[in-house]
Structure 1
Amino acid sequence: MKAYHWDELLEDEDLMELTEEAISPRTARRIPWRQLGALAACLALILCLANYQALAAAMKRIVDYFAGVGAAEQGTQVLVLDAPLTWTDDTWTYHLNAYQAGAYLFVQMEYLSTELEQGADISDGVPDYDLQAELLPPTDWDASWLPQKKALDRCSASYEDLNHWESPEGAALREAGYRTYGSHSNLFQVGAFSSNNYRFRITFTNSSASKGYQTFTYEKELNLVPGKAEATVSDSRTFPEGTITVLVSKDGSGVTNFVDWSPELTGDSSIHALDLQFIGASGKQYPAGFHNTYLEDFAHVEYYPRFPVDEPIAAVEITGVLFEDPSGAWQHNYENLNWIIPLT
């Protein structure tokens, strides 16, 4: 970076006058506007030079908001489902959403049951299912396919008793008749095998003592179409951990955010979450559903009204922000923020 000297930033006449003022006794006299302008320009340039790297990094972080996706760097090809896939089996209702951003295919599933199923091996009564998710090529695919280790994901589905949810979202789900909630996420690095069509196979296995060995398998077609970036309203706030930038779709249907972390946390695995509500034109507050998923340096962060809203969304209110280290080393919670982002 070039080093600047005062005589390069100011004219000789201005430099002489400012030097005389610096060494002369201080008197209450007005500085000419021309000199004020020169000083302001000089100060602005110095500040810009001092923060050049930070400014350059901020300029590079330009993102779009896609419904169902969250934030994606501008220029990234994004493919989405036309609508989430939904089906019902016995007491369970399943919701599957998927999108592809660049070389990654992300699949998010949620399950809701109207019953609290009993599992003898879990103290809170929520069943414990092992899960196998497999990404398969389109039916007419006739070339090589992803290696098995990249196409297959084995994990445990996360289930919760909704009676334990004290949040407004939990109350709304119980009011709708649901008793059990489950979810899981899968991330496939498709790379050169990326397509706009896949088959997704999910197999659940339950070996509880009360029900014996049970297996459920579902196979769904993932037909993806180009995603369209939403018009958004944005706002930012800075905390010791970093600056959060929030993007709200102009119709209020979705919210995403990202963090420019402070230098001390850059490269850390730190995560964050917002406590927010949607505010209708009448002033009524609506609870938010959310996806805050962090997988292999891949983040899916999005908030949305959990249930249909029968009036225009006028604003989003963020009452709290949580920063934490997943290992439990530290956690910082900021409450009562009164951070309101109006949409009109």
Structure 2
Amino acid sequence: MRYELDQLLEAEDLARLTDEAMASPAEKRHTFNPRRLGALAACLALILCLANYQALAAGVKRIVDYFSGVGAVDQGTPVLVLEEPLTWTDGTWTYHLDAYQSGGHLFVEMEYLSTRLEPGADVNTGVPDYSFEMELLPPADGDGPWLSQEEAVDKSAASYEDLNDWGSPEGAALREAGYRTYGSHSSLFQVGDFAGENYRLRITFIDDSVIEGYQTFTYEKELNLIQAEAKAAVTDSRTFPEGTVTVLVSEDGSGVTNFVEWSELSEYDPLGHSLELQFIGASGKRYPAYFHNTYLVGFEHVEYYPRVEVNEPITAVEISKIFFSTRSSDQERCYENLNWVIQLPQE
């Protein structure tokens, strides 16, 4: 079902909502609950789309920086990252670990891939095949205060995935590289006053798929963080009834981030939002986008990047759709046909 905005609202109400959305809202923070773009597309039958809506341009009201791998962060907020992701191999498995810290939160994410089809790698069963634990260890000297055990440990269960079940470009690339099984896990630690630049991390896998008993794998890694540098970015904003969306595009075209300043109409009810966008190369070719989320509390740390390899300069980004969701409604609201193209500076 499609509607024009003036079909949904009386002229007086439309003017009031526009005035409210353009007003300078108080400083607020909201946690973003992302949904994969593929899932959003699959649910379009349930989405209320407002076709041909031309959003109003608006000035940037919040000053933020763009950090690669993290996204948008309030200017002045310290952001620490690993200088290079950690990678190691054990038998058929290859592990990749990255970490980001903003304020009092440390986000650690891992991917692990095997060159063989591991037992129990069936995404359809829903049965956990392994238990996973990440633990931040106290300082090596053991004398200083440290997090409580509950705060320092994250435990969960998950399943391996057979990469033959992945029809995506990412799955094809991993299979071409020789991998057959995929797993991933992330942990968010509230380090608070104990935030620093160096951590010891213990990672434990308990393989439940072993026929005779459990098999445990444990690794300890040093996380040595450095101050991240903000990326030069082009910024543009548009205002919708739900709030003002500000998009930051890195000048080198490698990534996009964004955030919302919610309007008074939505400030007590927002659940999240997402973009559908394409990167545009110098040749005019369009590249689909995928996203990465660090789930750092207090801001929308989402970064979009080209889903496939790009072998030419990116000259622009086009935001084709914006989806908003709220806690009080089962439907997404979709704004499309935005004609929102952000041009990048060319040398």
Question: TM-score with structure 1 length normalisation?
Answer: 0.72
- In the other structure, the counterpart of 2:343 is 342
- In the other structure, the counterpart of 1:12 is none
Residue ranges of structure 2 left out of the alignment (5+ in a row): 1-17, 29-58
| Farther-moved stretch of structure 1 (104-113 vs 189-198) | 104-113
- In the other structure, the counterpart of 1:206 is 207
CA distance in 1, matches of 2:301, 2:167: 24
Cα shift at 1:129: 2.2
CA distance in 1, matches of 2:230, 2:208: 44
| Alignment CA distance shift 1:256-1:159 (3 Å) | farther
3-state secondary structure, aligned to 1:263? coil
Residues 86 and 93 in structure 1, CA contact (< 8 A), matched pair in contact too: yes
Q: What are the superposed Cα offsets for residues 73-120 of structure 1, whole Å, 9 maximum, x if unpaired? A: 111111111122222333333222112111111112223344443318
Residues 246 and 256 in structure 1, CA contact (< 8 A), matched pair in contact too: yes
CA distance in 2, matches of 1:331, 1:49: 21
- In the other structure, the counterpart of 2:84 is 83
- In the other structure, the counterpart of 2:149 is 148
| Alignment CA distance shift 1:52-1:274 (3 Å) | closer
Paired-residue identity, %: 65
Cα shift at 1:155: 1.9
Q: What are the superposed Cα offsets for residues 293-320 of structure 1, whole Å, 9 maximum, x if unpaired? A: 5465554311234565433222233344
Residues 123 and 160 in structure 2, CA contact (< 8 A), matched pair in contact too: no
Relative contact order, CA 8 A, sep 6+: which one is greater? 2
- In the other structure, the counterpart of 1:32 is none
CA distance in 2, matches of 1:112, 1:326: 36
| Alignment CA distance shift 1:109-1:323 (3 Å) | farther
Is 1:300 the counterpart of 2:301? The answer is yes
- Compare the two structures and name the one with the higher helix fraction: 1
- In the other structure, the counterpart of 1:13 is none
Is 1:261 the counterpart of 2:232? The answer is no
| Alignment CA distance shift 1:224-1:209 (3 Å) | closer
3-state secondary structure, aligned to 1:54? coil
- In the other structure, the counterpart of 2:106 is 105
CA distance in 2, matches of 1:121, 1:167: 17
3-state secondary structure, aligned to 1:150? helix
- In the other structure, the counterpart of 2:237 is 236
- In the other structure, the counterpart of 2:93 is 92
Q: Which has the larger radius of gyration?
A: 1
3-state secondary structure, aligned to 1:265? coil
Cα shift at 1:198: 0.4
CA distance in 1, matches of 2:164, 2:335: 26
Which residue identity does 1:70 align to in structure 2? Answer: G
CA distance in 1, matches of 2:26, 2:156: 41
Residues 79 and 100 in structure 1, CA contact (< 8 A), matched pair in contact too: yes
CA distance in 2, matches of 1:275, 1:51: 23
Is 1:70 the counterpart of 2:41? The answer is no
CA distance in 2, matches of 1:328, 1:91: 46
CA distance in 2, matches of 1:145, 1:278: 45
CA distance in 2, matches of 1:343, 1:60: 21
Alignment of 1:1-344 (within 5 A): 53-54=24-25, 61-119=62-120, 123-124=124-125, 128-140=129-141, 142-157=143-158, 159-208=160-209, 210=211, 212-268=213-269, 270-294=271-295, 297=298, 299-305=300-306, 309-324=310-325, 329-334=330-335, 337=338, 339-344=340-345
